[in-house]
Structure 1
Amino acid sequence: MNLLHGKDFRPPWPLSSGHIQTMLSSSGVRRVLLPRAAKSVLRGAEAVVVDGGGGVRLTGAYTAQQTRPQSRGLAVLFHGWEGSVDSTYVLQTGSRLLADGWDIFRLNFRDHGDSHGLNEALFHSCRLDEVVHALGDIAARWSARPMALAGFSLGGNFALRAAMQTSRVGIPLSYVLAVCPIIDPGEGLFSLEESAPWFYQAYFMRKWRHSLLAKQKAFPQHQYFEMSELKQHLRGLTESLVLRHTDFNTLQQYLDGYSVAGDAMRAMQIPATILTARDDPVIPVSGFEKLELPANVELDIAPYGGHCGFIRGWGMTSYTDDYIATRFNAVADAAVPAG
């Protein structure tokens, strides 16, 4: 199967609008209209808890493929900020890979999904060590190979950072693919506040406040924020998080802590692909254009797609399903011994 490329995605009007792509990507409308096949990863899924190290527990869901005599490999999927293992894009990608013969592991980050009561400390975007540790636990418990990882938005950022650590700690990850990953968190935060339409910040803030209130309910003995802090906008609440719940002294230090901008990905030891859209209204394309990447990292900037949308038509399926599947399958085919 030939690999797909971002330039080949040409959606019909009005899906050629990055804003419409972005708004539809996580909408209830899309969830309703998706075909049943896009949710097949839910059937037979096993809810599991994995080890994040140091007493940290993370939740996830494992689905074994049933279409081939032997699995193509293990596909691990990371959702975006305030998403979960049940986010539409995760289910759709997982279902496509499952149909192609991959075993699927969908991981929840700390405080995502229904996992607020598992760990007392709050989630933040620099908690990379527990995600890498969880990948090690997943690799040890589910042995299908090759092991490939895909992440979306903040999950794409985590996937890229984790992939740069796996070789060092002996995790047998073969390939990573990031869809619209956060590159420069400072630039992304400024974009949401200053140049993106107001409803994007409102959407993320509503979901984040809901998550923080769920965390407070799970641990009533611990005061995570003052109510006045919860009423702040994105920058103010993020700064309160940094000063209250991290070891960083400033907001900028925290944002730099999970940046993959500039030459940060020169440390990548495995093949990787970054797919983004030039019309993404959430993460500016300029951060991608400034990247200094090694030869094993492919940067693919599509003209259309919005933020994690890439919706092909009114059936609400996404081009990213085929895009990810062709690349994962190529990795699996390359791993099969000749003869």
Structure 2
Amino acid sequence: MGTSQAEPDFVPHRLLRGGHVQTIANFFLPRRIALPPSEARLIEVEPGVRVLCHCHWQPDRQRVLTVVIVHGLEGSSDSLYMQGIAAKGMATGMNVVRMNQRNCGGTDALAPTLYHSGRSADIAAVVQNLIDQDRISRFALAGFSMGGNLVLKLAGEWGREGPTQFKAAAAVCPAVDLAASADALHLLSNRLYESYFVWKLRRRFHEKARLFPDRFDTHRLRGVTSLRIFDDKVTAYYSGFTGADDYYARAAAANVLDRIAVPALILHAANDPFIRILPETRQKILANRNITFVETEDGGHCSFLAERSSGDGHWAERKILQFLQKV
């Protein structure tokens, strides 16, 4: 059986209690992050498609653990949580690679395609580049929200057949049940978040159509007022799915969680406003002895803001690195 921690050591900041408060505060509160210099690297993940990674190397990059971190929907390598965990990882002696998904981090022109929750093969291509070019001996994957779904999906797809260098995976508030989470995002109480995501996605699609006018048609944005409709009319249409339901069903990490064969950590807040874990998915998680499932009462979505007496107050980033230090 997997390990479940119902009462972990997370204590929310006394002024930041509640799922919405945590989520919104994490978005607006400023952070000072001393991030070491990085090597910018463009990696081809399929013919004609490149992603931008920012690699932070220790002096002996081949010997130490390399952590590849993946951002969430409409995030980038510059998202504060990406920078925060990168700085902490470097401070603990790890290599850290901040990976941008396709089109993210100012790279719309580098891919005539869209990014989505099923593109776990892009992460595999990045990892293979690091193995071939940098001769890394050990690596782990870490992801937030959509990125969490991607790293868990890849870990499950690899199963016991992944690279020998693959040692662990970690995910913060992973969207492993895509349909349920998209529907939760459309609840009236979550419309602020959905409106923000849809605005960002629409803006990006307009940019993609400007760069690739023969490939993308902005008329498909007519009537797009929710994430599910966007995924139905745009994501699925341009990515080989028959519709949103087909996309959500095929891209969800929930399908392969039972096949994860390396130590894996899943952090989930019970009051996450829109990430849902279905009962059958929860059973898969708990039945896999390789997965440590930590569920907190508070924490919101990818927030987990604690008192600053516990480091810088960003509990999830610290928790992930503590887990990875043991592999």
Please say whether Structure 1 and Structure 2 have the same fold, judged by a TM-score greater than 0.5. Answer: yes
Q: What residue number does 1:335 align with?
A: none
Q: Give, in whole Å, the separation in 1 of the partners of 2:283 and 2:264.
A: 17
The alignment status of 1:52 with 2:27, answered yes or no, reads no
Q: Give, in whole Å, the separation in 1 of the partners of 2:24 and 2:273.
A: 10
Alpha-carbon shift at residue 228 of structure 1 (Å): 4.6
Identity rate, percent: 26
Q: What residue number does 1:322 align with?
A: 318
Matches within 5 A, 1:74-89: 74-89=66-81
Query: Residue 330 of structure 1: SS of its match in structure 2?
Result: coil
Please tell me the root mean square deviation across aligned C-alpha atoms, in Å: 2.5
Q: Give, in whole Å, the separation in 1 of the partners of 2:233 and 2:47.
A: 25
The alignment status of 1:141 with 2:133, answered yes or no, reads yes
Query: Residue 195 of structure 2: SS of its match in structure 1?
Result: helix
The more displaced of 173-182 and 278-287 is 278-287
* Structure 1 residue corresponding to 2:111, chosen from 101, 112, 119: 119
The more displaced of 288-297 and 116-125 is 288-297
Cα displacement string for residues 98-141 of structure 1 (whole angstroms, at most 9, x for unaligned residues): 01111111111111111110011222222222332222112322
Q: What residue number does 2:34 align with?
A: 39
Matches within 5 A, 1:1-339: 7-27=8-28, 30=29, 32=30, 34-35=31-32, 38-40=33-35, 43-65=36-58, 72-166=64-158, 167-170=160-163, 172-194=165-187, 196-226=189-219, 228-229=221-222, 231-261=224-254, 264-286=256-278, 289-292=282-285, 293-313=287-307, 317-331=313-327
Q: Give, in whole Å, the separation in 1 of the partners of 2:74 and 2:304.
A: 20
Alpha-carbon shift at residue 171 of structure 1 (Å): 5.7
Cα displacement string for residues 283-316 of structure 1 (whole angstroms, at most 9, x for unaligned residues): 0254563434311111111111110001124796
Aligned length: 318
Alpha-carbon shift at residue 195 of structure 1 (Å): 5.4
Query: Residue 326 of structure 2: SS of its match in structure 1?
Result: helix
The more displaced of 107-116 and 218-227 is 218-227
Contact 1:185 1:256 in 2 (8 A): yes
Structure 2, unmatched stretches of 5+, are none
Contact 2:144 2:174 in 1 (8 A): yes
TM (norm. structure 2) is 0.88
Structure 1, unmatched stretches of 5+, are 332-339
TM (norm. structure 1) is 0.86
Alpha-carbon shift at residue 76 of structure 1 (Å): 0.8
The more displaced of 72-81 and 281-290 is 281-290
CA gap 1:243/1:162 in 2 versus in 1, 3 angstroms: closer
Cα displacement string for residues 233-255 of structure 1 (whole angstroms, at most 9, x for unaligned residues): 22222110245213222321111
CA gap 1:245/1:308 in 2 versus in 1, 3 angstroms: same
The residue identity in structure 2 corresponding to 1:304 is D
